[in-house]
Amino acid sequence: LAYRVPASKFTRKSISEVSTVEELDGLDTTIDWKNTGDNSYDGEKLKLLVHDESGKWEKPSNILNNWRVTKTCLRLGSRIVGKCMMGSTSNALDKGGANFKKLYDGSDASKRNKNGQTKTGLYKLFIPMEWNYEGFIDQYGYPVFDAPKKETLDPQGDVITEGVIEHWENEVEGLKDDPDALNEYYRQFPRTTQHAFRDEAKQSIFNLTKIYQQIDFNEELNNKHMVTTGSFQWEGGVKDTRVIFYPNNNGRFKVSWIPDQNLQNNIVLKRGNKYPGNEHMGAFGCDSYDISGTVGGGGSNGALSGLTKFSMSDAPPNHFFLEYIARPSTAEMFFEDVLMAIVFYGMPILCENNKPRLLYYLKRRGYRGYSMNRPDKHINKLSVAEREVGGIPNSSEDIKQAHAAAIETYIEDFVGEQESGYGDMYFQRTLEDWAKFDISNRTKYDASISTGLALMACNKHRYRPNTETKKKSYDLGFKKYNNKGNFSKIIK
């Protein structure tokens, strides 16, 4: 549609000296459309750009690449001359959903650059499905969340008998046995951002149904009350004394349980060396890094996970109680965070030794006794470096399979809906990391690496090698005789 000034027909008479030219007003505006493509509208200046179903651009089209191009069409230098409205539900992650999620996450209005703009230049807005679901809007335009207590009519004059939330929950209940159909329904009619970006179940090696059951349960429970964010600090700022946990909204640690006062900072001295005093209660797993910074500020995060095991102490069994996923400005800050956590809880730690700086840091500070040796080898079979600092390599295919199997078993037994209720795994970021975990490309799944190592540390007896005892016979020179009959005979 083009709203331009109508064209005028000029004749000799109309352009004669006695004629006056009539000025005509017009909007001089054009409304058009273009197919999805990375360079759509490249080079044009736009007053308003409206995207529809931008979360469903499949390869080779890429909504991220397109937005980097069209973003400049709404600007003249530093001046913003146009606006963009980009609304959509999302496809599965590998069908355009992942790119749309990056665009959404980069549009957080609380995270702006020095120019006052978000990373994308957009502001994200999520509207839950219950606010605009057809059939559950009353005659005045208000959503009907719960079953009406008095007669309520829709715009067509029909009676609304149930609430939209109850209707949605009934649909979800009917799809519980079909994970892919359930996840598709979540994406089409999301109530949370986690619903909006649900992935297909076939993409994960773990039980996505149980993982998402736990995520939904945590959201309904408002697990902010179950998890405390905070920091660990040495008492009085003096290192190698007592560690104290301080709640702090800007802290890097999330914890759901801390031991009783008498079990905190439980250190045992053996032959002058420090060992964890609560080894019987649980252990930590850690995915470390060696380099403080990378070009462009990238690089994976460091991750630390704490897990309890069954014990006679006052602690919830098989419970992930600590989550740390962060990359402080220096590696030494990360190492110190890890050290303070394991000292506070008094539990050992199993780390990957292909990035050994953390292990040498613990040894240098006098905490070699906290670093576990790899559980799949006898101490006599360890290499020189493994005996010196401990740790376990991540390059072995056997270790990778054992690591993934440990997480898989835990999810089946302790995550999601169980016979006795729901699991007590309250860390949403770890659950989401499990849902996306790819065993063939483990590098970016920091929480999955650390939780798997924690599980292996708490169940080290499962990986202990079976040592065969070889018996060798020696001839001691004693003869054996057969004493049957009247004469004894030597048994040869």
Domain 225-463, classified CATH 3.30.420.240, yes or no = yes
Strands 320-326, 349-351: pairing kind: unpaired
The pLDDT of residue 42: 75
Calculate the alpha carbon distances from 275 to 267, 272, 370, 456 in Å: 6, 10, 6, 19
pTM: 0.73
Contacts of 145 (CB under 8 A, 6+ apart): 130, 163, 164, 165
Starting at the edge strand found earlier in the chain, the sheet holding 320-326 runs 243-247, 228-234, 253-255, 320-326, 302-308, 282-287, 349-351
Residue tagged 């329904």 (tokens):
185
Q: Where do the structural domains in the chain lie, given as residue ranges?
A: 2-105, 130-203, 225-463
Quote the CA–CA distance of 455 and 406 in Å, as a whole number: 6
Quote the CA–CA distance of 244 and 108 in Å, as a whole number: 33
Contact (Cβ atoms closer than 8 angstroms) between residue 76 and residue 108: no
Residue 438 in 3-state DSSP? Answer: coil
Residue 397 in 3-state DSSP? Answer: helix
β partners of residue 84: 49
Residue 99 in 3-state DSSP? Answer: helix
Length of the chain: 492
Structure tokens at 445: 């799944």
The DSSP element (H or E) to which 68 belongs, if any, is helix 63-70
Contact (Cβ atoms closer than 8 angstroms) between residue 410 and residue 462: no
The DSSP element (H or E) to which 87 belongs, if any, is strand 83-87
The DSSP element (H or E) to which 349 belongs, if any, is strand 349-351
β partners of residue 76: 79
Strands 349-351, 282-287: pairing kind: parallel
| Tens of pLDDT, residue by residue, the chain (492 residues) | 777 776 666 556 555 555 555 666 666 788 888 887 777 777 778 889 999 888 998 888 889 998 988 888 888 888 898 999 999 999 888 888 889 999 999 999 999 999 889 999 999 999 999 999 998 999 999 999 999 999 999 888 899 999 999 999 999 889 887 878 888 898 899 988 888 888 776 667 888 888 988 988 888 777 677 899 999 999 999 999 999 999 999 999 999 999 999 999 999 998 888 999 999 999 999 999 887 755 445 567 899 999 999 988 888 999 999 999 999 989 999 999 999 999 999 999 999 888 899 999 999 999 999 999 988 888 888 888 888 999 998 878 888 899 999 999 999 999 988 888 899 999 999 999 998 888 888 888 899 999 999 999 999 888 887 766 677 777 777 777 788 877 788 787
Alpha helices in 291-393 (DSSP H): 331-345, 357-364, 384-389
Contact (Cβ atoms closer than 8 angstroms) between residue 303 and residue 449: yes
